[in-house]
């Protein structure tokens, strides 16, 4: 069990972290991580995003002790992974995207077994409490093969919690699950966070990261291309779209608006994209009126995290 009393300011700290996979056969040398410097504050829900092959899994596997780093340093809960390998790894729980569970064990047996692996004394184990927390207490004596996909996903979270780690890494926790289960997983992640657990989340569902994470790092080609509070990251794109529903249908963008980034959508809306630092909505509306367009309704649309993600990863491609 990891004591959480003398808690460090940062749950994870890495400096100049590198991982180089040597050339093998026809496969060339691969620089998976390139001088990664990252501090993940204690108590945060931290998003780690990036396209496939960006280096996210390599980063997580180094922290979990499954991959050896080439150079650099990494500390988990203040413990250097080289100087204190067992203690540092005991400070994290990792929920992998793959479901790994013996089909002939029960959830209760699996958690007891995992607690034994971590050296948790029987009197300190919280197997029933953890199963109840993830909504599996009524299935604690069923075989794993009898559980639904969503239940197995929750069981993976329960396995990672048996040693009460202060840091929990969720690697694509809602991959392949339905919307209802995804929402319930979000609720449970927030509950864990409210109890003081630092959450590190990797996901391909950008709306998930936008909904949950207070800070997000974007990795591309083994490098951190952005690491900022979510609100600040979303503010990076200096544009909005003004969507106008005209009183009379438009067949084309009027010539009077040809100098603007304006299009007619299939819905019939006139969409004008503009830089907020250069143009005000009032000026745009005046140009629309001067073009003889009656305004039935209008709405402004801000960029979302997907826009930011695509902008950053395409710039560094």
Q: Is residue 274 part of a domain?
A: yes
- Average pLDDT over the chain reads 88
Question: What percent of the chain is predicted at pLDDT more than 90?
Answer: 59
Q: Quick one: 155 and 284 in the same domain? A: no
Q: Quick one: 180 and 291 in the same domain? A: no
Q: 305 or 233: whose pLDDT is higher?
A: 233
- pLDDT for res 315: 57
Q: Quick one: 262 and 166 in the same domain? A: no
Q: Quick one: 244 and 229 in the same domain? A: no
CATH code at position 98: 3.40.50.300
Q: Is residue 2 part of a domain?
A: no
- pLDDT for res 27: 82
Q: Quick one: 120 and 18 in the same domain? A: yes
Q: Quick one: 98 and 113 in the same domain? A: yes
Lowest-confidence segment of 2-6, 222-226, 251-255, 265-269 by average pLDDT: 2-6
Q: Could you report the per-residue pLDDT of 87-123, keeping only the tens digit for each?
A: 999 999 998 877 888 889 999 999 999 999 989 999 9
- Interval 219-239 mean pLDDT: 87
Question: Phi and psi at residue 280, in whole multiples of 5°?
Answer: -95, 155
Q: Quick one: 138 and 43 in the same domain? A: yes
Last residue of a domain, one of 209, 234, 259: 234
Q: Is residue 89 part of a domain?
A: yes
- Interval 142-163 mean pLDDT: 90
- Interval 200-226 mean pLDDT: 89
Q: Quick one: 36 and 163 in the same domain? A: yes
Range of the domain at 269: 240-315
pLDDT for residue 162 is more than 60: yes
5's CB contacts (< 8 A; 6+ apart) are: none
Q: Per the structure, how many domains does the chain have?
A: 2
- Interval 235-263 mean pLDDT: 89
Q: Quick one: 225 and 246 in the same domain? A: no
Q: Is residue 186 part of a domain?
A: yes
Alpha-carbon distance of 260 to 262, in angstroms, equals: 5
Last residue of a domain, one of 234, 251, 277: 234
CATH code at position 250: 3.30.70.100
Q: Quick one: 229 and 258 in the same domain? A: no
- pLDDT for res 73: 97
Q: 281 or 74: whose pLDDT is higher?
A: 74
Question: Phi and psi at residue 249, in whole multiples of 5°?
Answer: -55, 145
Q: Quick one: 55 and 166 in the same domain? A: yes
pLDDT for residue 4 is more than 60: no
- pLDDT for res 269: 93
Q: Quick one: 146 and 198 in the same domain? A: yes
Q: Is residue 264 part of a domain?
A: yes
Last residue of a domain, one of 192, 214, 234: 234
317's CB contacts (< 8 A; 6+ apart) are: 220, 221
pLDDT band at 39 (very low <50, low <70, confident <90, very high): very high
- pLDDT for res 2: 45
| Cβ proximity of 61 and 215 under 8 Å | no
Q: Is residue 1 part of a domain?
A: no
pLDDT band at 80 (very low <50, low <70, confident <90, very high): very high
Q: Is residue 170 part of a domain?
A: yes
Q: Is residue 3 part of a domain?
A: no
Tell me the CA end-to-end span of the chain in Å, nearest whole number: 42
State which of 24-28, 68-72, 152-156 shows the largest mean pLDDT.
68-72
């Amino acid at each position: 069990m990891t004591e959480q009393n003398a808690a460090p300011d940062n749950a994870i700290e890495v400096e100049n972290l590198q991982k180089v996979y040597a050339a093998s056969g026809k496969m060339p040398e691969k620089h998976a991580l390139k001088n990664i410097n990252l501090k993940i504050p204690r108590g945060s829900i931290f998003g780690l995003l990036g396209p496939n092959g960006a280096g996210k899994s390599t980063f997580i596997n180094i922290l979990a002790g499954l991959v050896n780093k080439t150079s650099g340093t990494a500390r988990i809960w203040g413990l250097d992974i080289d100087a204190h390998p067992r203690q540092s790894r005991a400070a994290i729980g990792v929920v992998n995207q793959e479901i790994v569970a013996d089909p002939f064990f029960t959830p209760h047996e699996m958690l007891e077994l995992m607690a034994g692996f971590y050296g948790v004394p029987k009197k300190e184990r919280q197997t029933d409490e953890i199963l109840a927390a993830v909504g599996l207490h009524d299935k604690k004596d069923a075989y794993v093969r009898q559980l639904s996909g969503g239940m197995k996903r929750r069981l993976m979270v329960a396995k990672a919690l048996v040693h009460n780690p202060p840091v929990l890494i969720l690697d694509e926790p809602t991959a392949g699950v339905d919307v209802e289960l995804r929402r319930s997983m979000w609720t449970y992640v927030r509950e864990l966070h409210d109890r003081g657990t630092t959450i590190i989340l990797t996901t391909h569902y950008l709306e998930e990261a936008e909904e949950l994470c207070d800070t997000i790092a974007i990795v591309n080609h083994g490098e951190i291309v952005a690491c900022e509070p979510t609100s600040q990251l979303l503010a990076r794109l200096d544009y909005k779209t003004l969507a106008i529903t005209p009183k009379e249908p438009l067949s084309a963008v009027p010539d009077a608006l040809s100098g603007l980034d304006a299009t007619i959508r299939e819905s019939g809306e006139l969409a004008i994209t503009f830089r907020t630092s250069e143009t005000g909505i009032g000026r745009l509306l005046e140009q629309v009126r001067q073009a003889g367009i009656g305004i039935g309704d209008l709405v402004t649309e801000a960029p979302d995290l997907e826009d930011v993600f695509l902008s950053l990863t395409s710039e560094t491609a």
